[in-house]
Structure 1
Amino acid sequence: MPDKLDKIDLKILKILQQNSKITNLELSKRIGLSPAPTLERVKKLENATVIESYHAKVNPQSIGLNVKTFVLVSLAWQKENALNHFLEKIKEIEEITECYIITGEADFLIKIVCKDIPTYEQLLFKTLSQIDEIERLKTLMTLSTVKDSKVLPYKYE
Structure 2
Amino acid sequence: MSSLLKLDHIDRKVLEKLQSNAKITNAQLSKDIGLSPAPTLERVKKLEQSGIIKSYHAHLDPQKVGLGVTTFVQVTLVGHRKSTTEQFVEKVELIPEVIECHHVTGSGDFLLKVISKDISSYQSLILEKINEIEEVASTHTMVILSTFKDSKVLPIP
- Which TM-score tier does this pair reach, normalised by the shorter chain? over 0.9
Instruction: For structure 2, list consecutive stretches of 5 or more residues without a partner in the other structure.
Output: none
Q: Aligned pair count?
A: 155
Report the 3-state secondary structure (helix = DSSP H, G, I; strand = E; otherwise coil) of the residue aligned with 2:130.
helix
Deviations 1:36-68 (A, max 9, x none): 110110011111111111000010111100000
Compared CA separation, residues 17 and 98, structure 1 to 2 (3 A): same
Q: Which runs of 4+ in 1 moved over 6 A?
A: none
Deviations 1:72-128 (A, max 9, x none): 000011678311221111011010000000011100000001100000000111111
Give, in whole Å, the separation in 1 of the partners of 2:110 and 2:54. Answer: 24
Q: Where does residue 91 of structure 1 map in the other structure?
A: 93
**Structure 1 letter corresponding to 2:61:** N
Q: Where does residue 68 of structure 2 map in the other structure?
A: 66
Aligned-pair identity in percent equals 51
1:109 aligns with 2:93: no
Q: Where does residue 51 of structure 1 map in the other structure?
A: 53
Instruction: For structure 1, list consecutive stretches of 5 or more residues without a partner in the other structure.
Output: none
TM-score by length of 1: 0.94
CA contact (8 A) 1:2 1:48 kept: no
Correspondence list, 1:135-146, <5 A: 135-146=137-148
Give, in whole Å, the separation in 2 of the partners of 1:128 and 1:34. Answer: 51
CA contact (8 A) 1:95 1:113 kept: yes
Correspondence list, 1:26-41, <5 A: 26-41=28-43
Give, in whole Å, the separation in 2 of the partners of 1:48 and 1:79. Answer: 33
Give, in whole Å, the separation in 2 of the partners of 1:2 and 1:32. Answer: 25
Q: Where does residue 154 of structure 1 map in the other structure?
A: 156
Give, in whole Å, the separation in 2 of the partners of 1:100 and 1:82. Answer: 15
Q: Where does residue 102 of structure 2 map in the other structure?
A: 100
Question: Which of residues 71, 75, 78 in structure 2 aligns to 1:76?
Answer: 78
TM-score by length of 2: 0.94
1:4 aligns with 2:11: no
